[in-house]
Amino acid sequence: METPKIPAPRDEGEKRILAELMSIRDQLQLRKLDRTTYVRTQDVMVLYEKTIEQVRQLNAARTGKKSEENQGNGLSRAPDKVAPSWVRLCFQLLSLFFMTIGRNNEAPAAYSLTSTIKRLLDHLDEANLFSAKDLASIEHTLERLSAIVNNTKTKEPAPFLETLLSSRIDRCRETLDALKLRLKEYHDTIIPTHERLVSILRQMAAINTKPKFKPEDINKLRAQLKDIESQMVDGHFVGPEGKPLAGSEQVIALLERCQTYSEIVLEKRGQFPEQWKFVYDTLTGIRNELDKLSLTQAWSLRETDLYDYQRQLDKIDENRVDGNWVDAKGQPADLYVQRTLLYLIRRSYGYIYHLMISSEPVSEALLPIYNQLQTLKRCLIEVQNSGGVSSVRELYPYSMKLNSIDNLRVDGKFMVSGDIPEGQGSVSELLSQCYDLNYELRVAAEEMAEQEKPGSKDENE
C-alpha cells in the first residue's frame, strides 16, 4: 500500500503525534492482514482510543494557530481538510474494523461509508446518469447514518468525530438534493423511458468491459433504442395532448448519447488503447473481485478487505486532471477511454457501497453461526411456503441443527475463544425465529397426522 504524500509537520509536537498515528496505522494494517484469528473487539477499541487521543492532542496543538494548513480552527471544524492523511487513513481503517467486529450501528463505522457515498454521488453528478432508484437507496442510507450519529452519546475526547460525520452527511445531502432536483424536471409519463435508457447505457458499458466482447449483445440493445425512438412524435416525446413532455429534451439527449456510445463500442470491439491498458486491467480486476465478493459476501468477506480496494480506486480517481486522465505524454484520454474507466470506477464504488450496507451487525467471530442460522431460516421458510411437512420426522434434521447451535451457548451467550463477540442479540433473535418456524411446522404436521387417523372426528361425523 502506498504511503500518502503529505508535508512533514514542522512543529515537534505534531511530528510526535504523526509518528504515533503512523504506528497505529501500521498496527491496523498488520491486524487486517492476519487471517489466523478473529478480530477482537478489545483490540480494535484500544487502537481506536489511541487514535482519538492523538487527534485530541493534535487539536490542542493547533488551537489558536494561524497557518495555511490550519487557519486557527483546529481539527474539529473540518478534519478532512486540515488533518494529516495518516489521521484519515486511521479513521478509514478503524471504520471498517468497527464493521468487522459487528459495531455497525456506532458512529465510527459510518466514516468509511460516508466516504464511499460521497464518491458515488460525485460520479453520478459528473456522469449525469442516474435514476430515482439510485438516489432512493443512498437517501435511505444517509437517513440511517444520520440517526446513528445523532443517537450516539457524545463522549470525550471524540466529539469532533460526530461533528465530522454530521458535516459529511450534510455535504452528501446537498449533492443528493441537487440530483433529485434534476429528476423533478421530468414528467411522470417520461420517467420510465428515462430509466430504461439509463439501464441500457449501463448494460452497454458492462458488455464493453467483458473478457469476450459479443457484438450481438450490443445490437440487441440498439434494437431497444430504435423501439424507444419510434415512440417519438415529430422529434419529441409527447403526452396524450400531443404536446412535448417535460424532460423530453433531456431524454432525447440521453437517447442520442446511447446511440453514439453503441456505435463507438461496436467500432472498438472490446479493444483498449495500449497506453491505458494498465489502468483498465487494474480497474476490471478490482471490479471482478468485488463482484465475486458480492456473491459470497456472507461467507468470505471481512469488511477490512475493502480498504485496499478503496485506496486503489481513490488513487486512480484522484489521478485525473480537470476530470480526465492524462497519459505519459501528457495527452488526455479520448471520450471512449474516459467513459469506460469512469464506468469501471463507478461500478466498483457501487459494489463497495452494496457490501457495506449489506454488512450484518455481527462480529466475524459469530458470522459462521449467524450464516448457518440464516440458511436454516431460509430452508424452513421454503418448506413452509411449499406446503409444510407430512410428518414430524421430516423436521428432525432442522431440530437437531437448531439444538446443536443452541448448545454452543454458555450462560446464554455465544462464546468464542473465551470472548463474548458483538452481535449476541442478532444471533439469538435469529435462533428464536428459526425455533418459531420449526414449531409452527411441527404443529401443522401434528394436526395433519391427527386428522388422518382412522376414526378421527371428521370420519365419525
Convert the pLDDT of each residue in 220-279 to its tens digit: 999 999 999 999 898 889 888 888 999 999 999 999 999 999 999 999 988 899 999 999
Residue 76 has pLDDT above 70, yes or no: no
Mean pLDDT of the chain: 87
User: Rounded to an integer, what distance in angstroms lies between the CA atom of residue 82 and that of residue 88?
Assistant: 10
Higher pLDDT, 55 or 194: 194
3-state SS, one letter per residue, for 287-302: HHHHHHHHHHHHHHCC
Q: How far apart are CA 258 and CA 264, in angstroms?
A: 10
C-alpha cell at 429: 433473535
Alpha-carbon span 150 to 184, nearest angstrom: 30
CA distances from 87 to 93, 171, 248 (A): 10, 20, 47
Range of weakest confidence among 289-298, 323-332, 433-442, 448-457: 448-457
Which band of pLDDT confidence, cut at 50, 70 and 90, is reported for residue 103?
very high
Cell triple for 280: 483498465
- pLDDT given for residue 220 in this prediction: 96
3-state secondary structure of 173: helix
Confidence of residue 431 (pLDDT cuts 50, 70, 90): very high
CA 408 from centroid of its chain's CA atoms: 32
Check if the beta carbon of residue 95 is closer than 8 Å to that of residue 110: yes
- Looking at residue 413, the DSSP 8-state letter turns out to be E
* pLDDT, position 456: 54
397 or 9: whose pLDDT is higher? 397
| Contact assessment for residue 246 and residue 188, using Cβ atoms and an 8 Å cutoff | no
Residue with cell 391427527: 450
pLDDT at 234: 87
Distance separating alpha carbons of residues 248 and 25, to the nearest angstrom: 52
pLDDT band at 73 (very low <50, low <70, confident <90, very high): very low
- The owner of cell 494529516 is 84
Q: Is the alpha carbon torsion for 71, 76, 78, 80 positive or negative?
A: positive
- Quote the DSSP letter at residue 305: G
Percentage, residues of the chain above pLDDT 70: 89
Work out the percent of the chain whose per-residue pLDDT is above 90: 64
Cell numbers that stand for 174 in this block? 446537498
pLDDT of res. 343: 94
Q: Domain segments of the chain: what residues?
A: 191-271, 367-460
Q: What is the pLDDT of residue 228?
A: 95
Query: CA angle, corner 423, sides to 298 and 311, nearest 5?
Result: 55
Nearest alpha carbon to residue 96 among 425, 352, 314, 287: 352
144-183 pLDDT, tens digit per residue, is: 999 998 887 554 445 778 888 888 999 999 999 999 999 9
Query: What 3-state DSSP class applies to 144?
Result: helix
Q: Give 410's strand partners.
A: 413
Q: What is the pLDDT of residue 68?
A: 40
Measured distance CA(110)–CA(147) in Å, rounded? 11
Residue 6 pLDDT greater than 70, yes or no: no
DSSP annotation string for 388-410: --SSGGGGHHHHHHHHHHHTTEE
pLDDT of residue 455: 62
Task: Pick the more confident residue, 82 or 306.
Answer: 306
Whether the CA torsion 445, 449, 451, 452 is positive or negative: it is positive
Over residues 375-403, the mean pLDDT reads: 93
Q: Is 13 helix (H, G, I), strand (E, B) or coil?
A: helix
How would residue 453 be classed by pLDDT, with cut points 50, 70 and 90?
Answer: confident
Query: Tell me: the pLDDT tens digits for 20-69?
Result: 988 999 999 999 999 888 999 999 999 999 998 888 888 777 765 544 44
How much is the average pLDDT of 336-356?
A: 94
Maximum pairwise Cα distance, the chain: 97
Cis peptide, bond prior to residue 332, ω within 30 of zero: no
Answer whether 309's CB lies under 8 Å from 344's CB: no
What single-letter DSSP state applies at residue 419?
B
Per the CB < 8 A criterion, the answer to whether 453 and 406 are in contact is no
Alpha helices, H only, 68-158: 74-77, 79-82, 85-100, 110-127, 132-151
